[in-house]
Amino acid sequence: MKRVGVFGWGVVAPKSPNIEAFARNLERSESWLEPFNGFGPDTFLVGRPEFEFSDYRAWVDERFPPSRFPQLVEKMDLPTKFAIGAFVQALGQNPGLEQELTRLGTEAHVYVGSGLGALATTADVAIHLYRAQRRWNRFWAQPERNEALAQHLAHPESLDPTVEVPVAPEEAPPDEVEAAEDAWWSFWTQRSRELREFLAELREIESLSVDGPVEKGKIALIKEKQRRRQRLQRRWGAPNPPWHEASPNLLWNIHNAPASQISMLGRITGLAFAPVAACATFGVTLKLAIDAIRRGEAKAVVMGASDPPPLPMVVGGFYGARVIAADGQVSKPLTTLRGTHVAGGAAIWILGDHEHMTGLGFRPLGLEPVAVGVSSDAEHIITPSKEGPTIAIRQAFALAGAAPEQIATWDLHATATPGDFQEVENLREVLPGHVLVSARKGTFGHGMGAGGGWELTAQYLGYERGALYPTPIAAGELHAEIARVHDRFVFDAGCRVEPGWAGKLSMGVGGVNACVLSRPWTA
């Protein structure tokens, strides 16, 4: 079985704009969470990524025309920018990696997923489009350019009695006026003869086609259509149609955007796509990368996950799902079980065929990822099952050819919800009592897709330095029920690394599980 190694890594996380800051911050037991106040004053804490995309301008400018960096700033949402920054960091651990990824051609792949995607762009486009649609409908639903409405206002009895007319806005209760306006304007816009005349002329404009040489004719056609549309709108005094107001940035920021941009900036010509597996995204992506290398399809894979910073829609969604802490205090895993904290950022690794990469002089980092077990609960959208995660754990052991007694330390998914108890219970059915267990979402929060990458990177960094980093959990804070099941945890003082393997479990919304088993390179 081919061995694989991590030859580069980069991180964007709360309080941590890069991998060096991430490692320094891990040495302290303090939480990196901070007040949200995304709803105005509120009672939430979040993990807000520390990041300046301008830190990477020099790297981009060295390799591309001056227009490239401003284009990335204008068009790309933060998940893609986070991923680009983490990728550039990852190239730094082994000089020459960038050139090798390009030289490998289709034997270098890019798998970068997301738990949530570019929600800020989606929200901005949706809000802007909603407002544009309101302007449009309001314009065509005025009596002076809507003969049907003018007729109705003058003679209400003239409308077909089987047609249900919405409540007029002026007759709606105060807190329902906006919805009433939307319904009223939409109803009468559908009946505007004048709008039909406008659209008939617009269809003629849009039916113009390219004449002569394609490239020259294409540009001329775009300009001619624009001139005619503007004349049409001026004649009617109409606002921009709503379809003119939807930003194409929505397309540039679909889930595969981080992987695609890394492939373009790194000139990597192999397969690039986005695995999506909720909170298990990083572990699932690691499995795909290991499998591709062992099948001989790739010699190296840039892999990882990237998520947006905490947004009101995400914090509110987590609160609605009853899994987020809302009292303004840090909710630590394994303690009071009040809920998790939303966070955002990225974790990017460069995985490689060990023999190939070390033959070129590249040095592997941290631990050796040996196997990833994956499964689905097939039961509930958010509450983890007992069987699903256990299947992933046992599958990982079988793939690795390892025994539970070989495990020295294990990192939990542990979201500071009641599910922590079952996770520890499940773990003890498989692992012996000597295993040292860590849980780190009290440090940087729940990064959805990226969170598993932060946790694995922290585990690997700890092994590399010979000591597991502390967590914010004090021994006396451990929930009594959990303490009865298992009593060996990484608390706020940290501890040395015991000889043996390391395990890591991630459990995603929808019931997808990924269990990673790793061993020290000295093994």
Q: How far apart are CA 497 and CA 463, in angstroms?
A: 6
- Is 0.85 surpassed by the pTM of this model? yes
Mean per-residue pLDDT for 82-89?
98
The pLDDT value recorded for residue 163 is 84
Q: Do 158 and 281 touch, CB atoms closer than 8 A?
A: no
Count the neighbouring beta carbons within 10 Å of the beta carbon of residue 292: 22
Identify which of 514, 257, 249 has the alpha carbon closest to the alpha carbon of residue 395. 514
On the question of pLDDT at 160 being above 90, the answer is no
Which residues pair with residue 519 across a beta bridge?
A: 368
On the question of pLDDT at 410 being above 60, the answer is yes
The pLDDT value recorded for residue 348 is 98
Q: How far apart are CA 99 and CA 471, in angstroms?
A: 38
Rounded to the nearest angstrom, the gap between the alpha carbon of residue 93 and the centroid of all alpha carbons in its chain is 25
Summarised one tens digit per residue, pLDDT across range 199-243 is 999 999 999 888 778 777 788 888 999 999 999 999 999 999 999
The pLDDT value recorded for residue 215 is 76
The pLDDT value recorded for residue 73 is 98
One-letter amino acid for residue 499 of the chain: P
Diameter over CA atoms, the chain: 89
The pLDDT value recorded for residue 396 is 98
Q: How far apart are CA 8 and CA 10, in angstroms?
A: 7
Residue ranges per structural domain of the chain: 4-118+253-520, 122-244
On the question of pLDDT at 24 being above 60, the answer is yes
On the question of pLDDT at 159 being above 80, the answer is no
* Cα 123 to Cα 158, 246, 344, 446, distances in angstroms: 42, 11, 16, 21
Q: How far apart are CA 228 and CA 280, in angstroms?
A: 51
Q: How far apart are CA 338 and CA 427, in angstroms?
A: 21
What region does 517 belong to: left with phi over 0, alpha with psi -120 to 50, or beta?
beta
Asked if CATH classification 3.40.47.10 holds for the domain at 4-118+253-520, the reply, yes or no, is yes
Residue 159 burial (10 A CB sphere; 0-12, 13-18, 19+):
middle
